Amino acid sequence: MNLLWDKCDTLELAKKYGTPLYVLSETKIRERCRIIQDDFLKKYDNTKAVYASKAFLTTAMCKIIEKEGLGLDVVSGGELYTAIQAGFPMAMVEFNGNNKTIDELELAVNHEIGRIIVDNAYELDLLEKICKEKNKVMDILFRIVPEADTDTHEYISTGHKSSKFGINLLPETIFSIIKRAVDSDYVNFKGIHFHVGSQLHDNKSHLNAISKTLHLIKDLKDQNITVEDMNIGGGFGIHYTDDDQVKPLAYFLEPSMKIIEDYCQENDLERPMIIIEPGRWIIGEAGITLYTVGAIKTNGDKKYISIDGGMSDNIRPSLYQAKYHADICNRLDEDKTDLVTVSGKFCESSDLLIRDIYLPKAQSGDILAVYSTGAYTYSMACNYNKQPIPGVVLACEGKDYVLVKKQTFSDLIRNECIPSHLEE
Ligand SMILES: *Cc1c(COP(=O)(O)O)cnc(C)c1O
């Protein structure tokens, strides 16, 4: 029996579409959205969930998110454009990012998106200017630096004191920018946003950041400023390998809601709308990547099995030592007795997709499935070594659908030009 993904035979998919290939399970994506509905949106009133689309975004993904009743968090003009093209309801879109350009802000204002999460004073200046020109008023949140350290990799930790994201909580900084927004004719101050980091298995950084935000909300109330929205970000961890101590979503959200509700009651505050922004948690485990095994060799004490992709389709191991689990799709019933390193085909020594994993004895031509590759893989893909970006297929109950066609060689030079003096 070959590996099945959403009831599709992975060997058939590899044969039909070629490898490398990203395969997403629609059933798994929707299951995650339903858990968000049941354990958060339906459980607590005045709540909202937006999918952090930088984890994985295509026009079809926008459709799934819309059908599941979630909003969309974008962090660039390109992501916003994708949502616009997919006909996603703009009132359900929020825009994050620490250095949004003028063009990006103009696009957001033109389409009257739901919220802009303002990161800094320069951005507030730009936004007010754009809104004034266009005679529009935008609803905004401020992203704060909650100074909550996390137990995740430094590169995906975002809420520590010296983070590049957000506005620091020094009274002279935070109160003056919020007052500016409150007094502005061009923005509506709606609330506070933070995001502490990604791939977290511990709730303490969320709880810590929530406490700081609640104090801020109370201080603002004392100055007659009401906070209607409190966005507590994403970052909920998923299973990559058995080293991950995965917790259910409720492990993060139940104590979060409790301290928010208790604090609001004790301090006579109206409980703001609570918004979460999961990305990885929705899409990560729904995805696998299929590769064909090529060269197999032993150098020194390492046995390598080489695959036809690597860091251009999944940069996470090279970028932050991310770990993955894998299976050989056509050898599921064989014992995993062979200690190997899965090597990518790119000209970098760090292009090792999985270091030291036990697999069945592989042969060239086998199909390898790497698990939990739905998030931050396709969305981070590049053309290093002029490798075309693989296609994305959606598997659902035994049927398969193309979401993104694989790039061809001609795509690689589509935007290239040769100056005329070089043509002679
Ligand atoms: C990346 C990001 C998220 C999503 O993070 P995940 O770890 O994928 O859940 C949420 N909010 C903001 C502001 C982000 O930058």
pLDDT tens for each residue of 226-275:
999 999 999 999 999 999 999 999 999 999 999 999 999 999 999 999 99
Ligand 1 centroid – CA 166 distance (Å) = 13
Ligand 1 centroid – CA 96 distance (Å) = 9
299 DSSP β-pair partners: 302
What kind of architecture, by CATH, is found in domain 26-284? Alpha-Beta Barrel (3.20)
- 160 pLDDT band, cuts 50/70/90, is confident
Domain with CATH 3.20.20.10 in the chain: 26-284
Catalytic position from the list 62, 131, 264, 347? 347
Query: What class has domain 285-407?
Result: mainly beta
Tokens of 244: 């991950």
CA 233 to the chain's CA centroid: 11
- Ligand 1 pocket check: which of 75, 150, 198 to mutate, most ligand atoms within 8 Å of Cβ? 198
Q: Is the pLDDT of residue 152 over 80?
A: no
The minimum-distance atom of ligand 1 relative to the CA of 284 is: 8
Protein residue whose Cα sits closest to atom 10 of ligand 1: 234
pLDDT (0 to 100) of residue 223: 96
- 157 pLDDT band, cuts 50/70/90, is low
- Catalytic residue status for 347: yes
CA distance 115 to 92: 8
Ligand 1 centroid – CA 59 distance (Å) = 19
Q: Can you tell me which residue has the tokens 């050898």?
A: 331
Helix (H) or strand (E) run with residue 183 in it: helix 171-183
pLDDT (0 to 100) of residue 424: 87
Protein residue whose Cα sits closest to atom 1 of ligand 1: 52
- 390 pLDDT band, cuts 50/70/90, is very high
The minimum-distance atom of ligand 1 relative to the CA of 236 is: 9
| Residue 42 phi, psi dihedral angles, 5° rounding | -85, -20
CA distance 57 to 59: 7
Ligand 1 centroid – CA 111 distance (Å) = 23
Tokens of 412: 């690689």
The minimum-distance atom of ligand 1 relative to the CA of 234 is: 9
- Ligand 1 pocket check: which of 36, 54, 94 to mutate, most ligand atoms within 8 Å of Cβ? 54
Protein residue whose Cα sits closest to atom 11 of ligand 1: 233
CA 213 to the chain's CA centroid: 23
- 149 pLDDT band, cuts 50/70/90, is low
Ligand 1 centroid – CA 156 distance (Å) = 9
Summarised one tens digit per residue, pLDDT across range 310-362 is: 999 999 999 999 999 999 999 999 999 999 999 999 999 999 999 999 999 99
The percentage of the chain sitting over the pLDDT mark of 70, rounded to a whole number, equals 98
Domain with CATH 2.40.37.10 in the chain: 285-407
| Residue 365 phi, psi dihedral angles, 5° rounding | 100, -15
Is residue 341 helix, strand or coil? strand
Ligand 1 centroid – CA 235 distance (Å) = 6
Summarised one tens digit per residue, pLDDT across range 35-62 is: 999 999 999 999 999 999 999 999 999 9
pLDDT (0 to 100) of residue 151: 64
Ligand 1 binding pocket, CB closer than 6 Å: 52, 54-55, 73, 96, 195, 198, 233-236, 277-281, 375
CA distance 121 to 176: 10
How much is the mean pLDDT over the chain? 97
The minimum-distance atom of ligand 1 relative to the CA of 143 is: 13
The minimum-distance atom of ligand 1 relative to the CA of 158 is: 15
Is residue 56 helix, strand or coil? coil
Q: What is the amino acid identity at position 49? A: A
pLDDT (0 to 100) of residue 59: 98
Give the dihedral of Cα atoms 181, 184, 188, 191; nearest 10 deg.
Answer: 10
- Ligand 1 pocket check: which of 35, 51, 73 to mutate, most ligand atoms within 8 Å of Cβ? 73
The minimum-distance atom of ligand 1 relative to the CA of 235 is: 7
CA distance 214 to 270: 11
Ligand 1 centroid – CA 423 distance (Å) = 47
- Ligand 1 pocket check: which of 277, 281, 376 to mutate, most ligand atoms within 8 Å of Cβ? 277
pLDDT (0 to 100) of residue 155: 67
